[in-house]
Amino acid sequence: MGLNLVQKILKEHLVEGELEPGKEIAIKIDQTLYQDATGTMAAIEFEMMGVPRVQTEKSVIYIDHKTIQMGYEDKDDHEYLRTFAAKYGCLYSKPGNGICHQVHLERFGKPGKTLLGSDSHTPTGGGIGMIAIGAGGLDVSVAMAGRPFYMTCPKVIGVKLTGKLKPWVSAKDVILHMLRLLTTKGNVGWVVEYFGPGVKTLTVPERATITNMGAELGVTFSIFPSDEITREFLKAQDREEDWIPLEADADAEYQKIIEIDLSELEPLVACPHSPDNVVPVSELEGKVVDQVCVGSCTNSSYRDLMTFARILKASGRHCPAHIDVVVAPGSKQVLRMIDQEGMLDALFEFGIRLQELACGFCIGMGQAPKNNAVSVRTNNRNFYGRSGTLTAGVYLVSPETAAACAIEGAFLDPRKLEEKYGIQYPDVKLPEKFLIDDSMILPPSDEPEKVQIYRGPNIVPPPPNDPLPHDIVGEVTIKVGDKITTDHIMPAGQRLKYRSNVPKYAEFVFESVDPTFAKRALENKNKGIHNIIVARESYGQGSSREHAALCPMYLGVKAVIAVSIERIHRANLINFGIVPMYFVNPEDYDKIDQGDKVRIEGIRKGLIEGRDTFVMHVENKGLDIMLKVDLSDRERKIVLLGGMLNVAKEFGTKSFKEIEIKE
């Protein structure tokens, strides 16, 4: 039997385990990336491992998230990362150079390689034929230290693309269609591989839009073959030598196959507050729009911005009085190139507001809309509160639909632009040569021993954790529902500046859900009462921010009990010594209330002995509830020791097999 592309690349990188779906495997990581919101803590963790230089082929640190700099904290973090990069052997992409995933795709992504990034949208690299995975910062640091990355060998969904997208329909609509089909939950343990004749109709940036939002599906990564289109892209980036051809064998098998005829797709929109709440744009026509934002790692490429700008220019109109149109280009390359084509001028002529070349509005760094606003955006997440305005609703669309809404001042199916405004579809082609300017990417120092690491007062090492106690005895400190995202658990936006100061940042855990949580949890901790979080399906969706585990750990959370937990968040919980547990009978979720006093006896002994099920006694109700864990031997050891930092501290580079745990 032939191999699919996923199997081929995994086989090349396999360090431990067998390529059998569901089994734990370890793979070699060739490249890593940090960004500045997760990178500072991850870099501190790297330093705690005592490794003098990064061991990967390429490790890059991008400054793109925390660029508002209201107060010294953000710049102090940048400076720490700049000196860290110089000393430990990373490239450093300065603020102003662009968004990590966009720049990485342009300048560093290589077909057939593995990339691990401390950002959930790292799978953008799948557009160029890489296995690119998002993970918590600590996992990335471990890979930078030369250790393999552990993951569950995935099941592969093969998506066969046929046909060609019609004018006014684009890559964003493909992934919104996928989200409509597969939703944001229930896809843990899967990856997506695109194949079929439709693949060659999509450029690399279009493929990257699709793999980028695979993160919203909750799959570990998505990947496209590397073909002549990939070669053209790399050639235009002046790195044809990085190209290799890669595709699945003709008789490759997939665990599941979905077929999408690209020519049948229509413009789609994801309505508040979930990326899978997808309807055709035509259903919302006429709904007044207050804000249009174009950018983010999903849709800020040359192709996207040129398309948007050319549509606005062709309208010959000016921005309607009641709306703001915001543009955040993905990289310096993109901005300079659209400028050379006269399109920056066209955007200004229309009346846009230019944001910095960074994540910006996507992570609530500025551009919070007005109360109850309808905000139409090209980014990938429309979670509750993420825009910075709790009452606003964010609608996710393609650049084509964003342009139609900007011109109309209300939702409009972009296919009507032709008839209503006489605008022809701008079929933007990629240039034969991109403008290449790597002057804002700093190389590491040749004399690392001379580099002094800069540490501002906001940089506080992660607090230590105790090993897992014999029994968990405490309280259900919070009970939440379905699809709780890491934005609910650990807000970004205005709170981002505290990413390198856990005790401070922990004050905001669950801020938008229950602002009393952090205080209550800390009081419990100080009285020796363990905190427990209870949730329903798909807990921990979204961002890779390990702070969503690290800060609860600091507040004394010992277990998260849910019906299901998303992949990256589950790994982060384990890395910080919090036990991810599941209801054996999901309906037991309804029997538990916030404030219940609970006891999970013998959890430590049970985990050492390899037990999978545990009884939780609800003391105030006289009730027993069955819980289970799905931890590998390695993961049990991490949890028992109180997290990965304790593992590194106590056992250095010893392999997990050599580690013995005492009761």
- List the catalytic residues: 64-65, 119, 381, 543, 545
119 touching ligand SF4, by CB under 6 A: yes
Tokens found for residue 567: 């992949």
In sequence order, what E strands does 250-348 have?
Answer: 256-261, 268-270, 278-280, 291-295, 324-328
Angle value at C-alpha 210, between 204 and 214, nearest 5 degrees:
135
Amino acid at 421: Y
Looking at beta carbons only, is 65 or 82 nearer to ligand MIC?
65
Looking at beta carbons only, is 37 or 335 nearer to ligand MIC?
37
Q: How far is residue 343's CA from residue 419's CA, in Å, rounded to a whole number?
A: 23
485 touching ligand MIC, by CB under 6 A: no
Q: How far is residue 62's CA from residue 104's CA, in Å, rounded to a whole number?
A: 9
37 touching ligand MIC, by CB under 6 A: yes
- Beta-carbon count within 10 A of 634 CB: 18
Which does residue 379 touch among ligand MIC, ligand SF4, none (CB within 5 to 8 A, set by kind)?
ligand SF4
Taking CB under 6 A as the criterion, which residues in 601-640 touch ligand SF4? none
Name the residue among 372, 312, 384 with its Cα closest to residue 346: 312
Amino acid at 501: N
Q: Which stretch binds ligand MIC (CB under 6 A): 83-91, 102-110, 150-158, 541-549?
A: 541-549
SS3 content of the chain, % helix, strand, coil (to 5): 35, 20, 45
Tokens found for residue 86: 């110089």
Residue with tokens 């992570």: 363
386 touching ligand SF4, by CB under 6 A: no
| Bridge partners of residue 60, in order along the sequence | 33, 91
Least spacing, CB of residue 363 vs ligand SF4, in Å: 4
Name the residue among 562, 586, 540, 628 with its Cα closest to residue 120: 540
Selected binder of ligand MIC within 492, 551, 555, 559 (CB under 6 A): 492
Q: How far is residue 127's CA from residue 129's CA, in Å, rounded to a whole number?
A: 6
545 touching ligand MIC, by CB under 6 A: yes
380 touching ligand SF4, by CB under 6 A: yes
Selected binder of ligand SF4 within 9, 90, 99, 157 (CB under 6 A): 99
Taking CB under 6 A as the criterion, which residues in 241-270 touch ligand MIC? none
Which does residue 314 touch among ligand MIC, ligand SF4, none (CB within 5 to 8 A, set by kind)?
none
Taking CB under 6 A as the criterion, which residues in 326-365 touch ligand SF4? 359, 362-363
C-alpha pair distances (Å), 386 with each of 70, 100, 389, 393 = 19, 20, 7, 10
Task: Give 595's DSSP letter.
Answer: T
Looking at beta carbons only, is 170 or 296 nearer to ligand SF4?
296
Q: Which stretch binds ligand MIC (CB under 6 A): 75-83, 224-232, 543-551, 596-604?
A: 543-551
Which does residue 401 touch among ligand MIC, ligand SF4, none (CB within 5 to 8 A, set by kind)?
none
Least spacing, CB of residue 79 vs ligand SF4, in Å: 21
Backbone Cα Rg of the chain? 24
296 touching ligand SF4, by CB under 6 A: yes
Angle value at C-alpha 379, between 81 and 277, nearest 5 degrees:
135
Q: Which stretch binds ligand MIC (CB under 6 A): 401-409, 538-546, 569-577, 652-660?
A: 538-546
120 touching ligand MIC, by CB under 6 A: yes
Looking at beta carbons only, is 99 or 374 nearer to ligand MIC?
99
**Are the beta carbons of 132 and 117 closer than 8 angstroms?**
yes
Entry field: residues in the chain: 663
Least spacing, CB of residue 248 vs ligand MIC, in Å: 28
Taking CB under 6 A as the criterion, which residues in 413-452 touch ligand SF4? none
Angle value at C-alpha 496, between 137 and 549, nearest 5 degrees:
45
Site string for ligand MIC, 404-443 (x = CB under 6 A): ----------------------------------------
Looking at beta carbons only, is 335 or 472 nearer to ligand SF4?
335
Using CB under 6 A as the binding criterion, the count of chain residues that bind ligand MIC stands at 14
185 touching ligand SF4, by CB under 6 A: no
Q: Which stretch binds ligand MIC (CB under 6 A): 162-170, 256-264, 540-548, 638-646?
A: 540-548
90 touching ligand SF4, by CB under 6 A: no
Site string for ligand MIC, 336-365 (x = CB under 6 A): ---------------------------x--
Helix, strand or coil, per DSSP, at residue 533: strand
Looking at beta carbons only, is 486 or 564 nearer to ligand SF4?
486
Q: How far is residue 29's CA from residue 115's CA, in Å, rounded to a whole number?
A: 6
Which does residue 631 touch among ligand SF4, ligand MIC, none (CB within 5 to 8 A, set by kind)?
none
Selected binder of ligand MIC within 13, 121, 479, 637 (CB under 6 A): 121
Name the residue among 619, 497, 464, 436 with its Cα closest to residue 70: 497
Q: How far is residue 200's CA from residue 4's CA, in Å, rounded to a whole number?
A: 17
**Are the beta carbons of 193 and 248 closer than 8 angstroms?**
yes
104 touching ligand MIC, by CB under 6 A: no
Least spacing, CB of residue 402 vs ligand MIC, in Å: 18
Looking at beta carbons only, is 202 or 365 nearer to ligand SF4?
365
Q: Which residues of 225-247 are buried (b: 16+ CB within 10 A; e: fewer)?
A: bbbebbbbbbbbbebeebbeebb
CA 88 from centroid of its chain's CA atoms: 25
Helix, strand or coil, per DSSP, at residue 79: helix
140 touching ligand MIC, by CB under 6 A: no
Least spacing, CB of residue 65 vs ligand MIC, in Å: 6
176 touching ligand MIC, by CB under 6 A: no
Task: Provide DSSP, 111-161.
Answer: TT-EEEESSTTGGGGGGGT-EEEE--HHHHHHHHTT--EEEEPPEEEEEEE
Least spacing, CB of residue 115 vs ligand MIC, in Å: 14
Binding site for ligand MIC (CB under 6 A): 37-38, 65, 119-121, 134, 363, 381, 492, 542-545
Applying CB under 6 A, which residues contact ligand SF4?
Answer: 65, 99, 119, 121, 296-297, 359, 362-363, 379-380
